[in-house]
Amino acid sequence: MHLLDLLDSYAPLQKITFKAQAKTQKNAVRIENAPSTSWAPLVALLARRTEKCVILVCPTSEAGENALLDLNTLREEGKEPLYFPAPDRALLDDDNDRNATQDRLAVLDALHRDTPLVVTTANALSHPTLPVKDLVQGYDELKTGQKLERDDFVLHLAEAGYERMEEVEGPGQFALRGGIVDFYPPAGGEPIRLELWGDEIDSLRSFDLDSQRSTAKLPSIRLTPPRELYLPITKGKEIAEQVKEALAERLHQLRAFPEDARALKEKTEIEIAKLEGGIYFRGLERYRGLLYPQHPTLFDHLPEGAIIVFADPDRSASQTARLLEENAAFHADDVLPLPPSLCGWGELQTRAAKWTRFELRASADESADIDLDAHMPPAFAGNLPQLGTYLRDTQFKGDILVCATSHARRVREILADQKVGKVALIDELPRAEGGQVLVFPHRLTGGFRWGSTSILCDVEMFGWQTFQPRVSTRNRKKKKLAATKFSTESSPLARFSDLQEGDYIVHINHGIARYGGVVQREIGGAINEYLALEYDGQDRLYVPVAQLDRVQKYLGSEAAVPSLTPLKGGVWEKAKQKAKEEAIKAAQELAVLYAAREKAHKKPVAPDSMWQREMESSFPFEETASQLQAIKDAKVDMEKSRPMDRLVCGDVGFGKTEVAVRAAFKAVQDGRQVAILVPTTVLAQQHYQTFSERMSAYPVRIEVVSRFKTATEIKRVLESVKNGAVDIIVGTHRLIQADVEFHNLGLVVVDEEQRFGVLQKERLKELRAEVDILSMSATPIPRTLQLALGGLRGISLITDPPQGRLPVRTYVMQIKDGVLKAAIERELEREGQVYYVHNRIETIGLIAEKIQKLVPNARIGVGHGQMGDEELEQVFLDFINHRTDVLLATTIIENGIDLANANTIICDNADRLGLSQMYQLRGRVGRSQRQAYAYFFHGSRGKLPKDAEDRFAALQENTDLGAGFRIAMRDLEIRGAGDVLGLKQSGTIAAVGMELYSQFLAEAVAKSRGERVRQARVEELPEADLPLPALLPDTYVKDDAERLRLYRSMANARSIEDVTAIQEELRDRFGPLPPPAFNLIRTLKIRINLLRARLRSITKSPDEVLLRLQPGDSFAPEDLKAMEKAVREKDKRSEQHISLRKLEGLALKTRTLGAPQLLRLVEIIVEALADEREKRLSG
């Protein structure tokens, strides 16, 4: 039986269904006593009974997303409920967020093809959308085999509003590469690759945005509009005339301000020209009121018989009024006044009048037509005896009670302990009987009671529950393979390898040089691409791109510019030798520490229990692959007899805390205590709340000690810790004071370990003998990486972001009141919240007054470290519970508050903040699927100091998800390696670069312990100097950075399978390979076969090509027989051109051989030799 089957028999539903199916209805049907938790089941049943399209209009985005979660939980087999969000406009580029546009267009598309169940909000409806005719105008059906003129299709995409890019990165974009057109129709949910053969569609494929590789072949696709506006040239010209009139009027008013008038005229005339040409541009949204004065809404697209349900319409009306008020305030200072584009509540009601409408109110309503008689159930907040009494009393009355929970097994245990009988899983019953308690093993946002049926959820039973932020199905990505443990692929050093002209690089064979870019040169009659490297003096070296694996980005101190290496005199070999010697010394020191650690033993933690598995399955997010790997690493360590010392590195918001939650619960299940050590009071409160929520259904006692507790409360908690009554204790530095005693400490979790000083770490070391240690960091420092390389600490990297997460848009600028005001108003307009960081307590009150004056409607909370504990706690609670809109605070919020609804952060005097500090602050926002914004203001009117400029540049360069590692490396450059490392080897590191030194250290440590090197350098491929062009032409791969990345992939290839994969990627993404690119692939396969055959290289001279043996090597008779047999079978005519030189190798006479024939002959020879010699020499 499904939960909806149980609820479907409720009497008032008959009346509601009758009203919904009535053909005429003048007024909305008013329903009273319908609390918010009843909205989702009500509309789900309404859609089920009528089989019509149902639109649920919620008053706020939070209410809408809660209803969507419940509808997904209640969904039967079939259609997924859809969400129509409010558009999210960026402040400084006036462009809508593509994710919101994608969701809105997908809903419009569904309404024209189906009868979906849609959840939206009043504010989302207030933002107009495309009229029906413009939506239909953008539709097109494409099929394989269909005739299609490429240029006409590209023009159609551009006219529809698709944005041309070098590479498709998001919805509404297209890219062109020869006969391949990539484009991303927003409503379709996946990017499409169209490949033409002449003027016919040869194939249609979906592809992955991250890898840009095709994922599936498609027989046909539906082309949909890319934007919520359509600008044909005729309409553009019409609007341009109106803008010209408004501009002329405004210029007349600005006669006394010629500079302002000239700036306005220049800017607006550029936009007028684009409007006249029907060209889409950033900022076109501002002209929506002129483009669509009739304000088309979602209601214009509803199918016949649709039903609109207004939930809490009075609050929706006030939310819409506030939106219009804030929008008017935002545009009050517009230099060029334009007509408004938003719909008011009254206009929405008028548009809805033609449809069947219902209004839901939570309380009694004298004018109501139907009484739903639904009420909120009691809350027990973890009081299990009281819960048991309520359940038994409900059973006694003969009522049915449903426990909707993500902890089904645990709830059944609790019910048994409380002597509650007649318990069953709802899925296993054909029908329910009075007095039964049914367990529904899924989460709902809240319970309710209607008629004789009551529903209790985790929030009522245990007092806590969390929900995953809304992620649309179209944006859910496939899990990627995790980069396990600490490998060269997952190393922060390896990831920081993007080269730009002027960067310092390290060539492992030639030393430190300045990178001069990629150049084409003709050498020996063949044109190829080379890296131009500038060495000391006038020395120049041109390195074939095939040798990119021998080049590293130099990491050292930016303060001290590295010395360029001379190519002569053996300077580089001496520097490398010294670095190796220093690495050996460091390895010996680490070996002593390692030996001491090997002596420590502890009792292994037991394997996962049933409770462990159930608690983990209640995690409201889908784990990422690397997060699962980190969890596995920690568990494996805990189940060993050697104490764990593991560092989990992951970007801000990537899910490190969940690793700690699962490790802590595992330790508690084995009867051990857990200490969670954090640097700040705010973070302590945050972790206390998170751990309490995750474990609320289980008998785990969690406490917190921080400045928010009184001395008496702390004393009582510590006494409970000492006698073992507390399982998990969360705290700041107070936890590592001498008077804190544990009954049976098994695990210490250290968050932001780098924030603790030497003395605190010494105290921690006293605990390490028999205690597992799990540390967490967003930006690991190089000293930590050295310990990981040395094997003294385990390290797990969480490298992939949660699903649906968007990079934070980052702006750095001089502070301006207009931008400040607009940034806050724009966030409040979408019902969000704002962090404002001002790090001077003495002037924070003045800033509060300034914000209040700029944004009178904003509710402001002020928090800093000198406030009383209770007062500060209340400030944070008010912000968390959305009783305030703006949290004005010092950097006390740098670690701690994780709030999905806060998606704008403003930092003033940001030039006084460190790079990692700014990065941590930016990480406070962007924790949901909404686009987040970070504004870093500085007060300088002139030139900023060099280090401040560098910090800001690094922050803006590294905005993509997972940038924490690159931030750490950039911070290392700015501050200097010696400052951070504090090592005697810092001078040596500067001489060879951090990456090469780290490789030497890893090799030395592994050798000292008799282990295989975990970060060994890959054996270099032999060179193959052949007289033919082998490159990726810039007409084939146009983007220089992408071409360099592909060359690097080729340089790292070590098997024929690797080369085949690269060839397939080129063919898939860029089309058929031109001859130079095909030569490059074939040459790479030759080099791999040379490596397999243990040959030294291939060199050329004017008359011959020589396949060279390694010094002292020779061909065995069976080698030559295998080679001769292959040549006879595949190219017998070329046999006469081959001669053996016993001590050198095989010579191929090239005077009468053309380049194609030579290449084919070399392929045959090296493949045969590779197969034979690899089998013989490895056997």
What's the DSSP call for residue 744?
A: S
401 and 260 part of one domain:
no
User: 1084 and 954 share a domain?
Assistant: no
* Within-domain flag for 1037: yes
Q: What residue has token string 């060495």?
A: 535
Q: Is residue 128 in some structural domain?
A: yes
849 exposure class (CB count in 10 Å sphere: 0-12, 13-18, 19+): exposed
- Answer for the pair 1062, 1053: CB distance below 8 angstroms, yes or no: yes
CATH number of the structural domain spanning residue 591: 2.40.10.170
Q: Note the pLDDT of residue 486.
A: 35
Q: Are residues 750 and 617 in the same domain?
A: yes
Q: Is residue 480 domain-resident?
A: no
Q: What angle do CA 807, 211, 1060 make, to 5 degrees?
A: 160
* Strands 860-863, 833-837: pairing kind: unpaired
β-bridge pairing 117-121 and 82-84:
parallel
DSSP annotation of 402? E
Which one, of 932, 908, 918, 923, lies nearest residue 832 by Cα? 932
Note down the domain range covering 409.
389-461
Q: Domain ends where: 461, 489, 516?
A: 461
In 3D space, the residue among 372, 620, 575 whose CA is nearest the CA of residue 990 turns out to be 575
Predicted local confidence at residue 495, as pLDDT: 39
As a whole number of angstroms, the distance between CA 1043 and CA 1046 comes to: 5
What is the rounded CA–CA span in Å between residue 910 and residue 98?
Answer: 29
Do 191 and 251 share a domain, yes or no? no
Q: Do 243 and 319 belong together in one domain? A: no
The pLDDT of residue 920: 79
Based on the domain organization, do 593 and 608 belong to the same domain? Answer: no
Domain assignment present for 893: yes
Helix, strand and coil content of the chain, in percent to the nearest 5, comes to 45, 20, 40
Identify whether 376 is part of a domain. Answer: no
Q: Measured in whole angstroms, how far is the alpha carbon of residue 512 from the centre of its chain?
A: 35
Instruction: Give pLDDT, residue 307.
Output: 96
Q: Write out pLDDT tens, residues 979-1026.
A: 333 444 456 667 787 778 777 877 887 777 776 655 455 678 999 999
* Domain match, 117 and 145 both: no
Contacts of 604 (CB under 8 A, 6+ apart): 638, 639, 640, 641
Residue 22, class by beta-carbon neighbours within 10 Å (0-12 exposed, 13-18 middle, 19+ buried)? exposed
| Secondary structure element (H or E) that encloses residue 1005, with its range | helix 994-1008
Nearest to 184, CA basis, from 142, 223, 145:
223
Q: 51-83 burial, b if ≥16 CB within 10 A, otherwise e?
A: ebbbbbbbbbbebbbbbbbbbebbeeeeeebbb
User: What is the identity of the amino acid at 691?
Assistant: F
| Count of structural domains within the chain | 8
| Whether residue 162 sits in one domain with residue 54 | no
Q: Look at residue 7 and tell me if it is in a domain.
A: no
If asked whether residues 939 and 1067 sit together in one domain, one would say: no
Q: Residue 970 falls within a domain, yes or no?
A: no
**Which residues of the chain have a pLDDT value below 50?**
94, 473-497, 558-559, 974-985, 1015
The answer to whether 461 and 405 are in contact (CB under 8 A) is yes
Q: Give domain status of residue 966, yes or no.
A: no
User: Identity (one letter) of the amino acid at 932?
Assistant: A
pLDDT tens sequence across 31-74: 999 999 999 999 999 999 999 999 999 999 889 999 999 999 99
Question: Do 1058 and 1136 belong to one domain?
Answer: yes
CATH code, 696: 3.40.50.300
The CATH number of whichever domain residue 208 belongs to comes to 3.30.2060.10
512 plus 540 within the same structural domain? yes
Same domain, 926 and 1004: no
